[in-house]
Structure 1
Amino acid sequence: MRAKDIMSSPVYTAGQSASVESAAELMTAMGVTALPVVDTNGTLVGMVSESDLLWHRVPSDPTTQVRRHPDTEADSRPGTVVEVMSRYPLVTRPGADVAEIADQMLQNDVRSMPVVDDDQRLVGIISRRDILRAMVRGDDVLAAEVQHRLDEYSDGQSRWTATVEGGVATVAGEFDDETERTVVTVLARTVPGVAAARIGEVTSS
């Protein structure tokens, strides 16, 4: 399973000149914990999270000593996201393996990762919730989705029968040639939650 199979797209983003207040409002309204920050060309330049906003915007108690952010003056309160965002965020590619993404998230203690193309343009985002959702889908649900994709490919004709056991899809039926066999294999494997696909030998129909 690849990043492109489970990523959310389009992505809620903040521009470099967006205010801290508007970013906080968007996070609250959309129920997200972080926003990619992009320039006018859609290129990723940073990430702003709830913790970034809280660190800079919640006033400290003047009667207590609180450690302040090292990049922020004690009495300054930044107004734009570019002033509080984390630069050079951890990113991934559309073709990256989801298991590797999950490992990177855990090792780096991040809750979401932007997905970028070769030009660093934002194409999606993956959260821990997206990964968990894909992992907990039952075999029956996966089989139904694989079957639906195969039926669509064959213009509504039930040429193949899909079953899933332990996340592994098995497709039974006949194939016109090796190309069709490859296409069916790819269709089965791209269903989020399917770990592998098993296809029968090529047979003339």
Structure 2
Amino acid sequence: MESIKVIDYLNKRPVTFKATMSVAEASERLLLSHQSGGPVLNDNKQVIGFLSEQDCIKRMLHDTYLSEAFFTVQEIMTSSPLTVTAEHSIFELAQQMTENKPKIYPVVDSDNHLIGTIGRTEVLKAIDIHLHAIYEKGHARFV
């Protein structure tokens, strides 16, 4: 399981945001992407934050109540989000995800440039594939 790496299961086309984007625009981008969150990038494509559906819901609910809509992603994003590298172990990431950690992690290179994202669904898929491979090996011995 240690040999299973994030690079093999990451989402290479995650939804991304700019810090200056309005919350309404970011929410629309989330809806169109069918993803529950994504990294906020600076002009150099480095990860500077993370924006989730929950962040948007909180802000938009507040804005609806006050009939306002002028907040930006930078004001509601999680700054300095937890990230992983492409060589990170799926097993270690799965252990981190059992706690109250993010559901999606930006995957970055050594300069903090975005490579993709990996979430619970991809981690679950990796573990499932690994377990099926173990089962098939074990089952083949008894046939």
TM-score range for the pair, normalised by the shorter chain length: 0.7 to 0.9
C-alpha spacing 1:56/1:76, structure 2 compared with 1 (3 Å): same
Give yes or no for the alignment of 1:41 onto 2:44. Answer: yes
Check conservation: 2:90, 2:126, Cα contact below 8 A.
no
Partner Cα distance (2:96, 2:47) in 1: 19
Check conservation: 1:78, 1:84, Cα contact below 8 A.
no
Partner Cα distance (1:101, 1:78) in 2: 36
Which structure: larger Rg?
Answer: 1
Which has a greater percent of helix? 2
Query: Pairwise mapping of residues 94-109 of structure 1 onto structure 2 (< 5 A)?
Result: 94-109=86-101
Runs (4+) off by over 6 Å: none
Letter in 1 for 2:135: G
C-alpha spacing 1:39/1:61, structure 2 compared with 1 (3 Å): closer
Letter in 2 for 1:123: I
Check conservation: 2:45, 2:114, Cα contact below 8 A.
yes
Once the two structures are superposed, residues 32-56 of structure 1 have per-residue CA deviations (whole angstroms, 9 ceiling, x without a partner) of 1111000000000000111111111
1:7 equivalent in structure 2: 10
Query: What is the CA RMSD across the aligned residues, in angstroms?
Result: 2.5
Structure 1 gap ranges (5+):
63-73, 143-163, 169-205
Once the two structures are superposed, residues 183-204 of structure 1 have per-residue CA deviations (whole angstroms, 9 ceiling, x without a partner) of xxxxxxxxxxxxxxxxxxxxxx
Query: Pairwise mapping of residues 169-188 of structure 1 onto structure 2 (< 5 A)?
Result: none
Query: Pairwise mapping of residues 162-201 of structure 1 onto structure 2 (< 5 A)?
Result: 164-166=133-135
Partner Cα distance (2:64, 2:34) in 1: 28
* Higher RCO (C-alpha 8 Å, min separation 6): 2
What is the TM-score of this pair, normalised by structure 2? 0.82
> Size of the alignment, in residue pairs?
134
What is the TM-score of this pair, normalised by structure 1? 0.58
Once the two structures are superposed, residues 43-98 of structure 1 have per-residue CA deviations (whole angstroms, 9 ceiling, x without a partner) of 00000111111111103898xxxxxxxxxxx9975521111100011110100000
Structure 2 gap ranges (5+):
138-143
Partner Cα distance (1:61, 1:12) in 2: 25
How far apart are 1:110 and its partner, in Å?
A: 1.6
How far apart are 1:108 and its partner, in Å?
A: 3.3
Partner Cα distance (2:123, 2:29) in 1: 23
Q: Percent of aligned positions with the same letter in both sequences?
A: 26
